[in-house]
């Protein structure tokens, strides 16, 4: 090996200075811009897109779209001759919401729906995650229980609501059980699938270092399953509102689902719209809470990968 080769090898083994690396990157970009006009246009477009995609711009765009949507909802139906009992305007919804708060005990119905949805989401999430981990840890248990779990998953959970009402009566239990069932399966499937895709070489390495089964579970399998678990929780947060609404529609005497049924019987379209909007807001809040927890738990994962 010549002295020049030895010098080059030593330079390649030296740590890279971040300042020099940044200068090198800028130099490469400048060369690309000068040599290729098309690449220059792509770089400029990406820079403009990054500048436009700032949080302030996104917030202003969302607010502007919402204002345009509400204005269209307010003025288009009357302009097109659509009667208010078909599509009520925004002012009709606001007036009906005030009447519901004053005369229909709206706060009690909202609290009932929020309580059942939250409890069903928490219990269903815990049961789904626990069952997913149990099945993922034991192939034998998975093979034995898989046909029954698959059958229960395929069966429409909505169809169980009348059965639960006949068993348990017109109270909160049927709504809670339906919500738990609706939330349970997406989380179970996500966790089980993540347990099946854990790096087997990493597990074999842990076994080579004499780690116990529970140590492998807590230190390798649980962290590896966190992204899939959080994805299942986000899905379950939206399904929890659907589950509690189904229970209230079928046999509830409180809650926003009950108000939808009551408004339908009274031909009060504005009440039905208001209840739907409130249910949507509850689902958004649950989803946002899960997203905040996910950002705290998965802080070590780059955002582009989440």
Whether the CB-CB separation of 196 and 136 falls below 8 Å is answered with: yes
The size of the chain, in residues, is: 306
pLDDT at 35: 46
Q: What is the pLDDT along the chain (306 residues), one digit of tens a residue?
A: 544 444 444 454 444 444 444 444 454 445 445 445 454 555 455 545 454 568 888 888 889 999 999 999 999 999 999 898 899 999 999 999 999 999 989 999 999 999 999 999 999 999 999 999 999 888 898 889 888 888 888 888 888 888 888 888 888 899 999 999 999 999 999 999 999 888 888 888 888 888 888 898 999 999 999 999 999 999 999 999 999 999 898 877 889 999 999 999 888 999 999 999 999 999 999 999 999 999 998 877 765 444
Q: How far is CA 18 from CA 30, 37, 160, 296, 302, in A?
A: 18, 28, 62, 29, 20
Q: At 89, phi and psi to the nearest 5?
A: -80, 175
Of 181, 147, 188, 149, nearest in space to 164 by CA: 181
| Cα–Cα dist 250/160, whole Å | 10
DSSP 45-88: HHHHHHHHTSHHHHHHHHHHHHHHHHHHHHHHHHHTT--TTTS-
Q: CATH 1.10.3720.10 region(s) of the chain?
A: 90-305
Query: By C-alpha distance, which of 69, 47, 48, 67 is closest to 59?
Result: 67
Question: What pLDDT is recorded for position 150?
Answer: 83
Round to whole Å and give the CA distance between 144 and 296: 36
Which tens digits make up the pLDDT trace of 72-86? 999 999 999 989 889
Joined together, the tokens standing for residue 235 give 């899905």
CATH of domain 90-305: 1.10.3720.10
Rounded CA-CA distance 187/204 in Å is 27
């Amino acid at each position: 090996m010549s002295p020049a080769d030895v010098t080059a090898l030593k330079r390649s083994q030296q740590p890279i200075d971040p300042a020099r690396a940044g200068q090198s990157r800028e130099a490469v970009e400048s060369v690309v811009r000068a040599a290729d006009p098309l690449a220059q246009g792509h770089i400029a477009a990406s820079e403009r897109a990054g500048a436009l995609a700032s949080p302030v711009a996104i917030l202003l765009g969302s607010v502007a779209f919402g204002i345009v949507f509400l204005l269209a909802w307010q003025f288009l139906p009357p302009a097109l001759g659509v009667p208010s009992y078909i599509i009520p305007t925004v002012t009709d919804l606001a007036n009906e919401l005030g009447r519901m708060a004053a005369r229909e005990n709206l706060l009690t119905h909202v609290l009932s729906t929020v309580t059942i949805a939250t409890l069903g989401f928490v219990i269903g999430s815990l049961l789904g995650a626990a069952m997913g981990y149990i099945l993922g840890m034991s192939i034998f248990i998975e093979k034995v229980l898989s046909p029954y779990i698959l059958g229960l998953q395929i069966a429409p959970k909505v169809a169980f609501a009348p059965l639960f009402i006949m068993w348990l009566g017109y109270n909160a239990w049927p709504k809670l059980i339906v919500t738990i069932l609706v939330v349970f399966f997406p989380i179970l499937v996500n966790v089980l699938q993540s347990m099946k895709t854990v790096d087997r070489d990493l597990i074999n390495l842990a076994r080579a270092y004499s780690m116990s089964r529970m140590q492998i579970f807590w230190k390798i399998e649980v962290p590896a399953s966190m992204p899939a678990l959080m994805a299942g929780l986000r899905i379950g947060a939206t399904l929890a509102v659907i589950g509690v609404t189904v229970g209230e529609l079928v046999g509830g005497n409180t809650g926003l689902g009950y108000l939808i049924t009551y408004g339908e019987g009274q031909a009060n379209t504005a009440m039905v719209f208001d209840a739907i909007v409130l249910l949507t807001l509850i689902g958004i809040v649950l989803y946002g809470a899960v997203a905040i927890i996910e950002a705290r738990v998965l802080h070590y994962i780059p955002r582009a990968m989440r």
